[in-house]
Chain A
């Protein structure tokens, strides 16, 4: 199992790893540390450290474009060039591993001129006006142009678009006129996510970022995770923006516009207003949303709790079928189905495993179905006049809400999916400075949520929430008895793949909620529940291959998959930029919010209890809940005909 924890193995394929410096095996002879002087500041760094990494340590800033902390080195943009004493040419600092003592100068005349020259050349092919671009003020190219004092276009500037904007995908829009060929999206798609939608074709001045066969993005095998958007330095990639439609719904007096907000955007939206990453603005956002004109503001955590109940019951049902009824058709491990990027990934690359996916819908879609049925009845509203908006950290959610099967309420369960960035835009448009808003709570009847719902935003959160509920419902004990403060730490963290085993030593009585489905838990005594967590589709792929090969993952009962690195908090709809530190800060915000909740377990959520007594009276995984809260998947395959 050790190879799963090996950080190298969960990243770029062989071809990319060769670009990294392999430190000599006998470091004693050469000395493991090497001294380097950067702009007169001397320091010692481990062999193989790049000049760029070393310069960060002494606080020297070197500009970068194609370099990204999450991605392997490309060294294509050359903006990070520096002068290395004794070398005739400038060197790209991001791709220069230090193997001998060197002296580096980062802003000599030659360097400054080269950088300015590169910028001028990039701008000579970059079509687009900054004030008509969604990345205005958040664009790395624009920032560099300012930094290097670009005040005219030395090599001209395109006056007409050369490419047609590709709007075929429901999630991601591609505008190649703004592309500077840094290949961050290519490395994201091929190496980080291992989906393989984008690549560079042709040579030299004809090269361009393309999809397979230069087909529209909507027709190729894209899982809509939007990681490329988060890493694009310019506005070449962006999410499909429905804010105009949302405003139109708000302005229409006949429409009852309801918004649900997911946990991750709260931890990230502050970044759009200039705050440090990791400042949660949950309750400020509620006020701002009401001022924008939304009629009701609900918490997706409610339906996250609902998902836990449904998905957890499904797991128990599967276990019951396998252990008691000896049903050979039951598939293990069960996979989570909350991440629409992962679901589409599975449909494309592992269609033979669709039976493993939990049939439970994602929290977003469950909420939509509940709002247009239960909530409509409760408030005597016509569901056709209800507009459901979902604030998500995700671009794949836009695809999910447009899936044809997601209409179980008789209407489109969720009408519009908004990303964190788009909501920040709407809030600014309403003249609101979010951090200064007074705090207010969510609306009833779904106002109360639990800490379990909040942690859905971080990788391992779904698993932790499910375990909290399953332990209590089955074992009849408090989670706190097993884990301090109910923090199930083995599933937390940012390791690519994490395992946990939970032996069930004793069982309690079957709770009221599940009485219709199970008579007792005696059949679970002595069993060991094995679970795993994977984030990022590259890790998901590793888990799937391991299951195919019959490795440790195939022995698990339940596996949580998240398409994006870090889980939803690193989603494709979150504020740009992203980095491991930013994601860690957002995770801290999410876990802090969890710890602050009084109720931290899904099954204790009073709103959930009420829903099952008033509406879904037959209990979880019943006929009605299957109709509204569960779905089926499409085997898509990876061939494009």
Chain B
């Protein structure tokens, strides 16, 4: 690298870094360019709030998919957030550092399992179980929520662990020295002090859940309708795009891009909320 010199290296690195950022920008621009004109010409209210999705008839209302995404994601949070936060609290406050050094990487391995494998387990194990025990088709909001809830655990656990570990030890000592028990210290001082980091972890997990596609297609059943209960089949926004993109043309294709725009906006909002939570914490120190 000597012939490039210090400045040359900097330029090369800058070029590589910029190409990564520009890929992101180009994707966003492309989706917006393809989708936004459709939203405007079809009418945003009709597009977002009408329940009729009949591409052949020229009807493109994504309300059922929005409702489905919201329910599946909220369900996933109900499963993943308490489990994840409890796990993080237990690992940081109640387990020796050594044990934690083994368990944390194991949990992070969960993030490395391909989503199709989660979906496969959902189809083979979870859906039949729901069908036989609770009724309905099995492929449902509930199945999607449980699978996604498990899939987002690594995100929630590892970010929560980082934020609980960054709580100064002097807070714990101060509390214990006042006669608080270990558990009182944990839930009255340590966890509240890590609150913004834990909230950021949950929001990032939520972003993952709402964007997840493959596992959800496999376990949620994909029926385009507003679910009446947790046991009904639903189709999420992501599933809608993936399922129909292969054969969509013309307006139909634009409508799918428009669905992508809606997803992009939701995820951008979630990420900036998480960013705000993290910055708020940084500002406190």
User: Are A and B subunits of one complex?
Assistant: no
